[in-house]
């Protein structure tokens, strides 16, 4: 009987634990988890927060955990894996603090890509407002410019502007919210897609499906950036040859560079890419799986994920058997009013019991139980995720199921995957 500990409280962690629970007889523990993880078969929530490193260490030792999977970027960037290592706990899947810099420090990832010659947007790291303005004037085109805040900001620290003047007007509000360290980048155009792999410190096993996230709050990619309002896969813009080239030309060189620097990277490796007219270019790297991309990925993944992550921890992914099943999956995020700013929470959720389709799975992102009732507990509340033999079927199932769910002040996009279907 195995025991797996998934650290985190969101939809990504719910999906990971749900999928890991299918691989081995045993128990999946979540710390702290959410209302949805609590009711999964053979699971248990433990009321220990992600930033309670000592509490998590005690939990791993007292429960004799066989594998620890760290879901969110925050504890990774703050050194949770290092904390475990220093206390003799090695069965941990996730990068060290040094490895997590690839996401937490956009200046660092920009320099790594420049050193390796990886195609990316022309950019300028800036540390003062006057330097930001000068970089905007230099890098902006007639189609605009991009500001990227250094550090972790939950997917909200990137703003895309239609003109240099628009960006300049927003510099002081931007740095007042996110800090003075800003990467100014040219604005790229094309279709975005996410590529995921498992790294053992020297190599990368590709999870062979591209997934497209929908970051903007409203339809037709309008409104502010969010952590993600929905996703689908396979992404039509990225065939297997493209994914393999990203692995070979982007992901593996970065992992090997970090190993050469004495900071081996073990964990999920996420490359955010854009297919431009010149070919794929890297937008960002993340030190964990995406959310809501994970929900889609877990619906499509075949093979023994537990064995795969355990093999990476043991520094050997040479014989992994993970693959992607035929068909497609799509997830729709149901969010609270006010998200991504100040979401309204505490609203009772109805209708989950009315979803009967066996090809639909509702992953909880921000839920809790109050006085015996399931209520909203965050900005992004649920990700209604469906599988189908093709994207159209997956999309139909997901939206039919989403229509069964009700809570006050609910908002969601109605166009997840629509662009891909129009293009087919």
**Is the predicted pLDDT of residue 424 greater than 60, yes or no?**
no
- Strand segments (E) across 33-174: 43-45, 67-70, 92-93, 123-126, 145-149, 158-161
Angle, nearest 10°, between helix axes 252-260 and 97-104?
130
pLDDT at 382: 98
pLDDT at 156: 81
> What is the C-alpha separation between 366 and 296, in angstroms, rounded?
17
What would the pLDDT profile of 357-409 be if each residue is shown by its tens digit? 999 999 999 999 999 999 999 999 999 999 999 999 999 999 999 999 999 99
Task: Work out the number of other CB atoms within 10 angstroms of the CB of residue 7.
Answer: 28
Tokens of 124: 């300028």
- Round to the nearest angstrom and report the end-to-end CA distance of the chain: 46
pLDDT at 247: 98
pLDDT at 90: 96
Which domains, from first to last, does the chain contain?
2-96 (3.40.50.20), 122-186 (3.30.1490.20), 191-324 (3.30.470.20), 328-423 (3.90.600.10)
Residues 106-131: what's their mean pLDDT?
A: 96
pLDDT at 283: 95
What would the pLDDT profile of 208-229 be if each residue is shown by its tens digit? 999 999 999 999 999 988 999 9
Among 117-131, 306-320, 367-381, the least confident range: 306-320
**Is the predicted pLDDT of residue 1 greater than 90, yes or no?**
no
**Is the predicted pLDDT of residue 24 greater than 80, yes or no?**
no
Instruction: Decide: 159 and 225 in contact? Cβ < 8 Å.
Output: yes
Considering the chain, what is the average pLDDT of its residues? 95
**% the chain with pLDDT above 70:** 100
pLDDT at 411: 97
pLDDT at 368: 95
pLDDT at 316: 86
Instruction: Decide: 354 and 372 in contact? Cβ < 8 Å.
Output: no
**Is the predicted pLDDT of residue 23 greater than 90, yes or no?**
no
What would the pLDDT profile of 162-206 be if each residue is shown by its tens digit? 999 999 999 999 999 999 999 999 999 999 999 999 999 999 999
> What is the C-alpha separation between 273 and 119, in angstroms, rounded?
10
| Residue from 33, 93, 81, 30 nearest 57 by CA | 81
Neighbouring residues of 384: CB distance < 8 A, sequence distance ≥ 6: 331, 332, 334, 355, 360, 362, 398, 401, 402, 405
Q: What pTM does this model have?
A: 0.95
Residues 340-345: what's their mean pLDDT?
A: 93
What would the pLDDT profile of 48-68 be if each residue is shown by its tens digit? 999 999 999 999 999 999 999
What would the pLDDT profile of 280-312 be if each residue is shown by its tens digit? 999 999 999 999 999 999 999 999 999 999 999
Among 106-110, 316-320, 332-336, 395-399, the least confident range: 316-320
pLDDT at 252: 98
pLDDT at 225: 85
> What is the C-alpha separation between 88 and 86, in angstroms, rounded?
6
Q: What is the full DSSP assignment across 167-193?
A: HHHHHHHHHHHH-S-EEEEEPP-SEEE
**Is the predicted pLDDT of residue 423 greater than 80, yes or no?**
no
């Amino acid at each position: 009987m195995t025991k797996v500990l998934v650290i985190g409280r969101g939809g990504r962690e719910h999906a990971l634990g749900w999928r890991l629970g299918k691989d081995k007889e045993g128990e999946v523990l979540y710390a702290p988890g959410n209302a949805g993880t609590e009711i999964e078969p053979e699971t248990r929530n433990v009321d220990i927060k992600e930033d309670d490193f000592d509490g998590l260490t005690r939990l791993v030792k007292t429960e004799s955990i066989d594998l620890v999977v760290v879901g969110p970027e925050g504890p990774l960037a703050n050194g949770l894996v290092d904390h475990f290592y220093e206390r003799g706990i090695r069965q941990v899947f996730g990068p060290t603090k040094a490895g997590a810099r690839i996401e937490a420090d956009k200046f660092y990832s920009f320099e790594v890509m420049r050193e390796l010659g990886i195609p990316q947007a022309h950019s300028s790291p800036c540390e003062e407002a006057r330097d930001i303005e000068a970089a905007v004037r230099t890098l902006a085109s007639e189609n605009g410019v991009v500001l990227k805040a250094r550090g972790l900001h939950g997917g909200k620290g990137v703003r895309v502007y239609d003109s240099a003047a628009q960006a300049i007007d927003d510099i002081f509000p931007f740095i007042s919210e996110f800090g003075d360290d800003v990467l100014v980048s040219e604005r790229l155009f094309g279709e975005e897609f996410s590529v995921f792999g498992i790294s053992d410190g020297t190599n990368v096993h590709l999870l062979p499906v591209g997934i497209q996230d929908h970051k903007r709050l409203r339809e037709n990619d309008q409104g502010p950036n969010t952590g993600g309002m929905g996703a689908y896969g396979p992404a039509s813009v990225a065939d297997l040859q493209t994914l393999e080239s990203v692995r070979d030309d982007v992901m593996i060189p970065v992992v090997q560079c970090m190993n050469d620097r004495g900071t081996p990277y073990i964990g999920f490796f996420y490359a955010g890419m854009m297919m431009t007219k010149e070919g794929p270019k890297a937008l960002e790297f993340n030190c964990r799986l995406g959310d809501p991309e994970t929900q889609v990925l877990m619906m499509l993944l075949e093979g023994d994920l537990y064995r795969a992550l355990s093999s990476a921890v043991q520094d050997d992914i040479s014989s992994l058997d993970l693959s992607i099943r035929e068909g497609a999956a799509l997830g729709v995020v149901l969010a609270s009013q006010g998200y991504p700013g100040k979401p309204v929470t505490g609203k009772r959720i109805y209708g989950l019991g009315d979803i009967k389709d066996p090809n639909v799975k509702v992953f909880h992102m921000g839920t809790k139980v109050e006085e015996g009732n399931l209520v909203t507990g965050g900005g992004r509340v649920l990700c209604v995720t469906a599988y189908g033999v093709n994207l159209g079927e997956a999309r139909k199932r997901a939206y039919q199921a989403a229509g069964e769910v009700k809570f006050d002040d609910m908002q969601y996009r109605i166009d997840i995957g629509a662009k891909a279907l129009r293009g087919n």
